[in-house]
Chains A and B, each alone.
Chain A
Amino acid sequence: MSTMHFHLRLWKQKSKESEGDFVEIDAKEIPSECSFLEMLDIVNNRLTIEGKEPVAFESDCREGICGTCSMVINGIPQGPGRGAACQVYMRKFENGQTITVEPYRVDAFPIVKDLVVNRSAYDRIIRSGGFISEHTGGAPDASTTLIAKPVADAAMDAAACIGCGACAAACPNSSPMLFVGAKVTHLGLLPQGQAERKSRARNMVRTMQEEGFGNCSNYYACEAVCPANVPASVIAMLNREYIRGEMSEAVGAID
C-alpha cells in the first residue's frame, strides 16, 4: 500500500458571525486508496491526538447518494470529477499537491462551523412547491397511469438531483436554478405532479428569491459540477413553467 503526502489548506471558522481563515496542515503518509473524507478523518484523528481541535465537516452516506459532504475542493464544489465529495479519491491528486478546502460561499447557506454550512434554504424551497398531492389508501396498479418512456427518462434525469447545493455553490451568482429546475422538471413532467404544476415553479422561485439566492446568468457552472449529472435544460423548463405560472395567476386561474 503506497502512501502520499499533501499540503492542506482547510477553512476554520468558529461560527457564522466570527472571522474565518485557512489553517495549513501537512498531511503525511496518507494511503493512496483513501477517499477524500477518509483522508480528512485521518487528519482530524491526528489533530485530536495532538490536543488540537479537528476541522468540522459534514458527511453521511459516503456513497455518493445523499450530497451531505458539501465542501469546495480546489475551487470545485463537491470536488473534481463526477459524484459527490465522498467519491473523490486521494490517488486522483498529485503527491505533494496543495489542496484547498473551503465551505460553500453562498449567502443563503450560512456557515455553521468550518466546512459545515446550513442548507435548510433548499428545504424551504422544496416545502413551497417541491411536492405532490396523492391519494391515500391502497397502492394503485403500476400500469394504471401510463407514462411514455421518453417522458419517464427525462423526469428520471431530473429526479437524480440530490439537493447537495453544489449548483448554487458553483454559480458565480449563487443561483440554485439547477436545483429548482430539477424539481420543477421532475414533478412537472409526470402525471402525478400536475395538480400543483401551475403554482409550483412560481412558488419555488419566489421562495428562492426570499432566501437571498442570486439569479441565473446561463453560465452553466452548475451543470459542470452537478454530482448527479442534471442537465441545464431543466432551467429552460423552469423558465417557461414560471412564466406560465405568473400568467395563470394574472388571469385568475390560480391563487
Chain B
Amino acid sequence: MISKALSPKKSCGCCWPLFSSSIGRKWIVAITGVVLALFVIGHLLGNLSIFAGPEAMNAYAAFLKSTGELLWIVRIILLTCVVLHIWFTISLWRENLAARPQKYSVKNNLGTTIYARLMRISGLTVLAFVLYHLAQFTWEAFNPEYRNWFDAQGRHDVYRMVVTAFECPFVSGFYILAVGLLGMHLSHGIASLFQTLGITTEKLRPIFEKGGQIVAWIIFLGFASIPAAVLLGLVKAPSSIPACPFCH
C-alpha cells in the first residue's frame, strides 16, 4: 500500500490561525508577556523615586497624571494585554488538561523547574494582587481620605499615601508575597519567551534561563525594597496618620 501524504484541514479562513493554532496562541501569550514585563520594569523604576523623597515621587505621579490621553492609551494597551495573556493561557491549558486525562501513578518532575510548574498559581495570585493594588492606590477604595491628601505644592501626596499604607505589616506582607510570586512568574516567563518566539539556540538557552531568573529576582528585590524600607523605618512620612484598622 502506498501511503499518501496527509493534508491537514485548512484553517477556517475567517480567523487568522494565529488565534487558533498551538504555536500562534503561545506567541500571543509571549508578546503580551513582553509588554507586561516592560510595564513592570517601568513601574518599578517609577516607584523607586520614593527613595528620592516626597518631592521626587509626587512630581513623578503628577507627571504621569498630566499625560492625559497618553496615559489612557497605555492603560488600554495594558488591559488588552492582560486579557489576551490570560484568555489564551486558559485556552491552551484546557487543551493540555484534555491531552493527559489520566495522571501517572508515580509522579516525577523530570527536569521541570518549580517556576514553570507554578506559573498558573503565581499568575493568578499576581492578578488578584493587581486588582487589590489598583483598588488601594488608584481607585483609593479602601481609604477614601487618600483623595484629600495634597502636598505643599498642591499635588496629590502619593508619597504619604504609600508610606502610610506600607506601615501596615499586612499590606506590606501581601505586597512582598505578591512581588515574590511575580518574580517566580517572570523567572519562567522571561526565559521562556525567547524559546517560544524562536530566538534562541542550544548555546543561548542556558544564558536566557539564567538571565531571566536574575532579571526576575532583581525586579523582586526592587519592588520588595519599598515596603521593607517603610517597615524598617528607613522611609518615613512627614506626619504619619494610622490608616490600617488592623494594626492601629
Contacts and interface: CB of A to CB of B under 8 A. Distances in A.
8 contacts: A72-B104, A203-B7, A208-B22, A209-B21, A218-B191, A237-B198, A243-B23, A246-B18
B195 A218 contact: yes
Task: Provide the main secondary structure of the chain B interface.
Answer: loop
A213 B105 CA distance: 20
A243 B27 contact: yes
Interface in B97-118: 98-112, 116-117
Interface in A58-76: 72, 74-76
A72 B9 CA distance: 33
Interface string B158-191: 0000000000000000000000000000001001
B148 interface: no
B5 A173 contact: no
A124 B200 CA distance: 28
Given A127-B5, A233-B205, A75 B106 contact: yes
Interface string B58-102: 000000000000000000000000000000000010011011111
A128 B105 CA distance: 34
B105 to A, nearest CB: 6
Contact of B26 (A213, A215, A225, A233): A215
A76 B110 CA distance: 7
A129 B5 CA distance: 7
Interface string B127-159: 000000000000000000000000000000000
A237 B205 CA distance: 12
Closest 3 CB pairs of A and B: A224-B111, A240-B198, A75-B108
A80 to B, nearest CB: 10
A247 B18 CA distance: 10
A235 B9 CA distance: 23
Contacts of B3: 127
B15 to A, nearest CB: 12
A55 B112 CA distance: 31
Nearest to B188: A218
Interface in A94-108: 100, 102, 105-108
B112 A100 contact: no
Contact of B104 (A75, A206, A249, A250): A75
Size category, A interface: 35 or more
B245 interface: no
Given A127-B3, A218-B192, A239 B100 contact: no
A128 B8 contact: yes
Contacts of B233: none
A175 interface: yes
Nearest to A208: B22
A217 interface: yes
Given A170-B110, A225-B110, 14 more contacts: A22-B105, A76-B108, A102-B104, A107-B100, A129-B5, A172-B117, A174-B99, A206-B21, A207-B8, A219-B117, A220-B116, A233-B200, A233-B205, A246-B17
B47 interface: no
A172 B25 contact: no
B114 to A, nearest CB: 11
Nearest to A104: B104
A102 B106 CA distance: 9
B234 interface: no
A206 B112 CA distance: 26
B119 interface: yes
B232 interface: no
Interface in A226-249: 231-233, 235-243, 246, 249
A42 interface: no
A93 B72 CA distance: 63
Nearest to B119: A217
Given A233-B205, A236-B200, A100 B106 contact: yes
Given A173-B99, A221-B112, A203 B8 contact: yes
A215 B25 contact: yes
B207 interface: no
B202 A239 contact: no
Contacts of A217: 92, 96, 116, 119, 192
A89 interface: no
A128 to B, nearest CB: 4
